[in-house]
Amino acid sequence: MGFSNGPRLLDFKSSPPHLQFNKFVLTGYRPISTYRECLQSLFYMHNEFGNIYTHGIPFLFFLLFLPLNIPWSEVDWWICVVHYLACLSPTVGSVLYHLFMNHEGGASVYNTLLSLDMFGVCLVNTLGALPIVHITLLCYPSSRCAAMLAYLLLSLYGIHCAVTARSNVNRLRSFAWQALFRLFLFMLRWIGPGTGSPASLRLYLTMDSLALLGGLVNISRIPERFSPGRFDYWLNSHQIMHMLVILSILYLHWGMLEDLSWITSFQCPAE
């Protein structure tokens, strides 16, 4: 991939007001651009370059390689489809947001892209958990249906909160009820047998821990808070969050593979 010099980049004070959301990132802002110019920014260095590629490269990896180790023919097809879409969803919205956030459409385009980005995060929280709910309560059909409906309703509320939030703190809070619901499921797995693969619980707990850590790093603006300007291009809080999110998705996938392997051999006890 060849790189060009690109346009003259702006500092924080010279950048458009809707892009002034991290006062500790001082330089490297792209000027207002057309769609074509935004696409051209894939090939020169700026302060969103790392954010684009830390989700863009994993998106291509997930798109091409995840289907190869999902047991499509061995379990219900919807579980595989929902899980696959869950793994892809946060990276798609994120890449579009970071790539086109400086579009000449201004704040309205930016806010639309931010909502799309948050919708992708909501989808991984929603779609990623539905197979977990199903498998955890596999032997309890009535409770399973009620739990999946309850989680969907909580997710709709979380999506509304996330896409309308006006701060990183409130966006993180939007996912609290979903996280508590998953924690309840994980407690069920820890207490009783027949609620999923014993090996998957540790993987799912790691998944949620990484996602929470990523959110906390993002809202705390660490490390750039302690050295403004030093992390403008690489290893700022948002990039660290991106990397933790990708790890979280991988742990979701590994946990689901354990569960899918378990479900093919497990038989619910006869009533």
State pTM to two decimals: 0.93
Q: How far apart are the first and last CA of the chain?
A: 61
Question: Is 54 domain-assigned?
Answer: yes
pLDDT digits (tens, 9 = 90+) for 53-82: 999 999 999 999 999 999 999 999 999 999
Q: 245: domain range?
A: 50-263
244: left (phi over 0), alpha (psi -120 to 50) or beta: alpha
| CA–CA gap between residue 152 and residue 144 (Å, rounded) | 12
The whole-number pLDDT of residue 271 equals 60
Asked whether residue 123 is domain-assigned, the answer is yes
43 within a domain of the structure (yes/no): no
Segment 2-52, tens digit of pLDDT: 455 789 999 999 999 999 999 999 999 999 999 999 999 999 999 999 999
* Number of structural domains found in the chain: 1
Q: How confident is the model at residue 1 (pLDDT cuts 50, 70, 90)?
A: very low
Q: Is residue 227, in this structure, part of any structural domain at all?
A: yes
Q: Give the residue ranges of the annotated binding site for Zn(2+).
A: 98, 238, 242
Per-residue model confidence as pLDDT tens digits over 75-110: 999 999 999 999 999 999 999 999 999 999 999 999
**What is the per-residue pLDDT for 166?**
84
Annotated binding-site residues read 98, 238, 242
Confidence grade of residue 206 (pLDDT, cut at 50, 70, 90): very high
Task: Tell me the C-alpha to C-alpha distance, in Å, between residue 258 and each of 45, 81, 136.
Answer: 40, 16, 12
Give the number of other CB atoms < 10 A from CB of residue 72.
Answer: 12
Do the domain assignments include residue 25?
no
Residue 16 lies in a domain: no
Query: What value does the mean pLDDT take over residues 160-186?
Result: 90
Residue 107: inside a domain: yes
Measured CA angle at 8 (ends 22, 243), to 5 deg: 40
| Calpha distance 29→180 (Å, rounded) | 38
pLDDT surpassing 90 at residue 136: yes
Task: Show Cβ contacts of residue 93 under 8 Å, excluding neighbours closer than 6 positions.
Answer: 116, 117, 118, 119, 120, 121
Strand partners, 33: 103
- Domain assignment of residue 24, yes or no: no
